């Protein structure tokens, strides 16, 4: 495991885009007047002629990105998840999804960990919204290396991609992700008593939870599911067949996200017990991001509690 340095995946995305921009002149970056917060300013500093601030007009930004994609460019549109997925949903559905255009959306500040910005900005519905758009790839990387690999994979993928990135700095789990593939999960730790399938910053908490469970004699298989759509069904089915008990973990509503995606596979192809850990049918509220994660049970301790319930 890599040295425990911390970096927010939104910053990883900014660094990755700047690096890719040096190799590929067709990359352009669009921003909705949030270059500092989304870290698209890193790309702007390197390639000011390929960075476009559309202003506080997210729907317009997606329309511009769609147009640029038809001219041979690969646009990366960036804003907060609440605005990129929420405010611009109709444009993403009809202007990008329907014609299957090559537009990439890098949505930062997703989930409860946005913290002090409160419920209006804590988007816990974006996975559900984006999964519902036909042909849309949905990803949520867990650390710096995986985020940089996901950005590269998004560029190489022909078609629309939605990627959620975090505000909080998170520990590095990977040295690199050279073998990263869209639609493929990774087993980080083997186990036989329960499978923990996590995405985003909940992957770090799943690893911590596995250590806590180990101390109590419980063996957990930990799976990093960066791509929520298309889901790695093989890993899910293997967990269902070989273990029979699965806990899903996400910084998203339990409605429409990773948990429901896993449940759909299990129900149709290999029945097993599944417990979903996420934000229940409620809004968040203002507070420090780390404290809110604890309050909503989105922590290693929360995972341990959920595992014990299913066992």
Q: Which residues form the catalytic set? A: 58
**Contacts of residue 203, Cβ cutoff 8 Å, sequence gap at least 6:** 142, 143, 173, 188, 222, 224, 249
What is the mean pLDDT of the segment spanning 35-39?
A: 94
pLDDT for the residue 121: 94
C-alpha 206/C-alpha 194 separation (Å) is 12
pLDDT for the residue 1: 42
Give the E-state strand segments of the chain in sequence order.
6-8, 27-31, 51-53, 74-80, 104-108, 137-139, 161-164, 169-171, 186-189, 194-198, 220-224, 227-229, 245-253, 273-279
C-alpha 237/C-alpha 208 separation (Å) is 24
**Residue written as token pair 């650390």:** 143
Mean pLDDT score of the chain, rounded to an integer?
96
Does the pTM exceed 0.85?
yes
Per-residue pLDDT band for 3 (boundaries 50, 70, 90) equals low
**DSSP H/E element including 20:** helix 9-23
Residue range 205-244, pLDDT digits in tens: 999 999 999 999 999 999 999 999 999 999 999 999 999 9
- 281 touches 255 (CB < 8 A): yes
What domains appear along the chain, each with residue ranges and CATH number? 6-171 (3.40.50.970), 186-310 (3.40.50.920)
C-alpha 88/C-alpha 38 separation (Å) is 17
Residue range 55-100, pLDDT digits in tens: 999 999 999 999 999 999 999 999 999 999 999 999 999 999 999 9
**DSSP state for residue 52 in the 8-state scheme:** E
- 228 touches 138 (CB < 8 A): yes
C-alpha 164/C-alpha 199 separation (Å) is 10
């Amino acid at each position: 495991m890599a040295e425990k340095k911390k970096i927010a995946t939104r910053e990883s995305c900014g660094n990755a885009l700047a690096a890719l921009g040096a190799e590929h002149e067709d990359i352009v970056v669009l921003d909705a007047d949030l270059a500092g917060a989304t870290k698209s300013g890193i790309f702007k500093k390197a390639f000011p002629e390929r960075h476009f601030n559309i202003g506080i007009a997210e729907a317009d930004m997606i329309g511009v990105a769609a147009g640029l994609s038809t001219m041979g460019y690969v646009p990366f549109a960036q804003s907060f998840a609440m605005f990129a997925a929420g405010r611009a949903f109709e444009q993403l559905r009809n202007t990008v999804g329907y014609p299957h255009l090559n537009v990439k959306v890098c949505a930062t500040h997703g989930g409860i960990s946005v913290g002090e910005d409160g419920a209006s900005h804590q988007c816990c519905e974006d996975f559900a919204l984006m999964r519902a758009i036909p042909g849309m790839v949905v990803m949520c990387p867990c650390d710096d290396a995986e985020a940089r690999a996901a950005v590269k994979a998004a560029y190489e993928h022909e078609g629309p991609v939605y990627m959620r990135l975090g505000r909080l700095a998170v520990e590095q789990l990977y040295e690199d992700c050279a073998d990263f593939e869209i639609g493929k999960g990774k087993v980080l730790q083997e186990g036989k008593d329960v499978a923990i399938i996590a995405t985003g910053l909940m992957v770090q908490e799943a690893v911590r939870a596995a250590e806590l469970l180990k101390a109590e004699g419980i063996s957990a298989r930990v799976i990093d599911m960066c791509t929520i759509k298309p889901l790695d069904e093989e890993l899910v089915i293997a967990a269902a067949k070989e273990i029979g008990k699965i806990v899903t973990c996400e910084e998203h509503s339990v409605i429409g996200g990773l948990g429901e995606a896993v449940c759909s596979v299990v129900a149709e192809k290999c029945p097993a017990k599944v417990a979903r850990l996420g934000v229940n049918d409620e809004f968040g509220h203002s507070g420090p991001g780390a404290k809110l994660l604890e309050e909503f049970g989105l922590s290693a301790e929360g995972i341990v509690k959920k595992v014990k319930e299913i066992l």
